[in-house]
C-alpha cells in the first residue's frame, strides 16, 4: 500500500498557485492552472491532478512557454472562435473563449473554439462540463507528443490524444467521459513507474517493438492505442481535427518542436458545443427523455455510467474536506515551494 498525505481542500489550489508563481508563471496563468488541478484532485483524478504540477514546472524550465502572455480571442467565422494562446498554457485561452462559445452556440445551434499555439497538460472533462453546466452538449480533443504507435506499427506517431464529451441532464450530474485513445495515458504509466508497479499487458512495446510491462521500457519505447485499429483510427481523427483542421501541429510536429526537452506538448485544441434545443426539432423534452431511457437501461443491468466514480469521489472529498496524494508526490511538490 502506498503511503498517502491528506491535503485540506482550501490548501490544494494555494499549494499549486505558490509552486507555479515561484517557478515563474504569472498570476493569471497560475490561477487557471491551480483551479484545474484542484478540480481534478477533488475528483481523485490522480494522473492529472496535483501530479501534473511536475509537468507544468518542467514546461517552464524548458524555456519555451510564456508564463505571462495574455491570450487573444477573435472570431474566424460566424460560429468559429479562435483562442490564440500565443505560446502560453491552454487553460487561460480556453477560459476566456468559453463565454463567446456559449453565446454563439445559442445563436447558431453549433459552434466551436479552436485554441492555437498552446502548451497543454490537462484533463479535458472540466472544459466540457463547463458547457454541460450551461445546458449544452460538448466535445473536445487534443493531440500530444508522438509517443503512441498506430495499430500494427512499431514506433510512436500518434499522441495519447484524449477526447471528452459531456451531455447535460436535468437535475443530475451530466453524462461525461474523458479518456486517452492510448491504452493508458502517459501520466498513468508515470504513476505506475513511481509506484514501482508493472503495467498490464497491451499498454506498450519496448524500443525493439516487443510487448513490455516495464514502465521505463514503455516510456522509452512506444505506447499502444486502446481497441487496436479502432482506437488508432480515432486517434488519427483527433490529430486531424485538433491539428491540420485548425492550422496547428500534429503530435509528430509537437515532439519535434520540443527538441528533446520534457514538459507539456505544444499544439492546438478543438472544443465543439451543441444546443440541444435547436437540434431537437422542437421536441427537446421528448429527446431528453430518450437520453434518460438510454442511461437508465445501462444502469439497470448493473453497468455504470462514466464519471460516476469521479462524482462519488467529489462528494466524499467535499464531505471530509481533504484530498489524498501519495507521500512521494507530496515530498516532490514541497521541494518546489519557495
What residues act catalytically? 47-48, 188
Strands (E), the chain: 4-8, 72-77, 80-84, 110-119, 136-141, 163-169, 172-179, 204-205, 211-212, 222-223, 266-275, 322-326
User: What are residue 75's phi and psi, to 5 degrees?
Assistant: -100, 135
Shortest distance in whole angstroms from residue 270 CB to ligand PYC: 16
By CB under 6 A, residue 114 contacts ligand NDP? no
Distance CA 43, CA 12 (A): 12
Say how far apart CA 280 and CA 171 lie, in whole Å.
19
Pick from 65, 111, 118: nearest CA to 91: 118
Phi, psi of 135 (to 5 degrees): 85, 10
Q: Report the residue from 104, 117, 130, 186 that binds ligand PYC according to the rule CB under 6 A.
A: 186
- 238 closest CA partner among 260, 219, 254: 254
Please count the residues of this chain forming the interface with ligand NDP, following the rule CB under 6 A: 27
Q: What's the closest the beta carbon of residue 189 comes to ligand NDP, in angstroms?
A: 10
Is 123 one of the binding residues for ligand NDP (CB under 6 A)? yes
The separation between CA 78 and the C-alpha centre of its own chain, rounded to angstroms, equals: 27
Choose the one of ligand NDP, ligand PYC, none that binds residue 115, judging by a C-beta under 5 to 8 angstroms depending on kind: none
| 142 is a site residue for ligand NDP (CB under 6 A) | yes
Name the binder of 142 from ligand PYC, ligand NDP, none, CB < 5-8 A by kind. Answer: ligand NDP
Minimum gap (Å) between residue 106 Cβ and ligand NDP:
26
**Pattern 128-157, binding to ligand PYC, x per CB under 6 A?**
----------------x-------------
Q: Which residues contact 13 (CB under 8 A, 6 or more apart)?
A: 34, 35, 37, 38
Contact region for ligand PYC (CB under 6 A) — 179-187, 227-235, 266-274, 313-321?
Answer: 179-187
Q: Return the residue of 31, 120, 203, 323 that touches ligand NDP, per CB under 6 A.
A: 120
According to CB under 6 A, which residues from 98 to 127 bind ligand PYC?
A: 121
Cα–Cα distance list, 333 to 22, 35, 262 (Å):
12, 17, 18
**Cα(148)–Cα(224) distance, integer angstroms:** 6
What does the per-residue mask of binding to ligand NDP show for 228-267, with x meaning CB under 6 A?
A: ----------------------------------------
Identity of the residue, 125 or 167, whose beta carbon is nearer to ligand NDP in the bound complex: 125
Binding site for ligand NDP (CB under 6 A): 45, 47-48, 120-125, 142, 144, 160, 162, 164, 177-180, 185, 187-188, 304, 306-310
In the complex, the residues that contact ligand PYC under the rule CB under 6 A are 47, 121, 144, 160, 180, 185-187, 265
Amino acid at each position: 500500500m502506498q503511503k498517502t498525505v491528506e491535503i485540506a481542500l482550501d490548501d490544494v489550489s494555494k499549494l499549486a498557485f505558490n509552486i507555479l508563481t515561484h517557478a515563474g508563471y504569472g498570476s493569471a496563468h497560475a490561477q487557471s492552472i491551480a483551479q484545474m488541478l484542484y478540480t481534478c484532485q477533488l475528483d481523485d483524478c490522480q494522473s492529472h491532478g496535483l501530479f501534473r504540477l511536475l509537468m507544468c514546472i518542467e514546461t517552464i524550465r524548458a524555456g519555451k512557454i510564456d508564463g505571462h502572455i495574455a491570450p487573444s480571442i477573435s472570431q474566424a467565422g460566424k460560429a468559429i472562435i479562435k483562442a490564440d494562446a500565443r505560446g502560453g498554457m491552454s487553460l487561460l485561452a480556453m477560459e476566456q473563449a468559453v463565454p463567446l462559445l456559449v453565446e454563439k452556440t445559442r445563436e447558431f445551434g453549433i459552434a466551436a473554439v479552436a485554441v492555437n499555439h498552446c502548451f497543454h497538460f490537462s484533463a479535458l472533462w472540466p472544459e466540457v462540463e463547463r458547457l454541460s453546466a450551461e445546458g449544452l452538449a460538448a466535445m473536445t480533443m487534443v493531440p500530444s507528443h508522438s509517443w503512441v504507435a498506430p495499430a500494427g506499427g512499431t514506433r510512436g506517431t500518434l499522441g495519447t490524444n484524449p477526447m471528452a464529451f459531456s451531455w447535460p441532464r436535468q437535475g443530475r450530474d451530466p453524462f461525461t467521459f474523458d479518456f486517452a485513445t492510448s491504452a493508458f495515458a502517459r501520466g498513468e504509466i508515470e504513476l505506475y513507474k513511481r509506484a514501482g508497479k508493472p503495467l498490464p499487458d497491451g499498454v506498450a512495446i519496448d524500443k525493439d517493438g516487443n510487448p513490455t510491462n516495464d514502465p521505463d521500457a514503455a516510456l522509452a519505447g512506444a505506447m499502444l492505442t486502446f481497441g487496436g485499429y479502432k482506437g488508432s483510427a480515432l486517434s488519427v481523427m483527433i490529430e486531424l481535427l485538433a491539428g491540420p483542421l485548425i492550422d496547428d501541429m500534429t503530435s509528430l510536429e509537437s515532439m519535434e518542436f520540443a527538441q528533446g526537452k520534457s514538459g507539456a506538448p505544444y499544439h492546438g485544441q478543438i472544443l465543439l458545443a451543441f444546443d440541444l434545443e435547436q437540434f431537437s426539432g422542437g421536441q427537446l423534452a421528448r429527446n431528453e427523455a430518450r437520453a434518460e431511457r438510454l442511461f437508465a437501461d445501462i444502469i439497470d443491468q448493473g453497468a455504470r455510467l462514466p464519471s460516476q466514480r469521479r462524482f462519488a469521489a467529489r462528494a466524499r472529498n467535499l464531505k471530509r474536506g481533504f484530498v489524498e496524494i501519495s507521500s512521494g508526490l507530496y515530498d516532490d511538490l514541497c521541494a518546489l515551494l519557495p
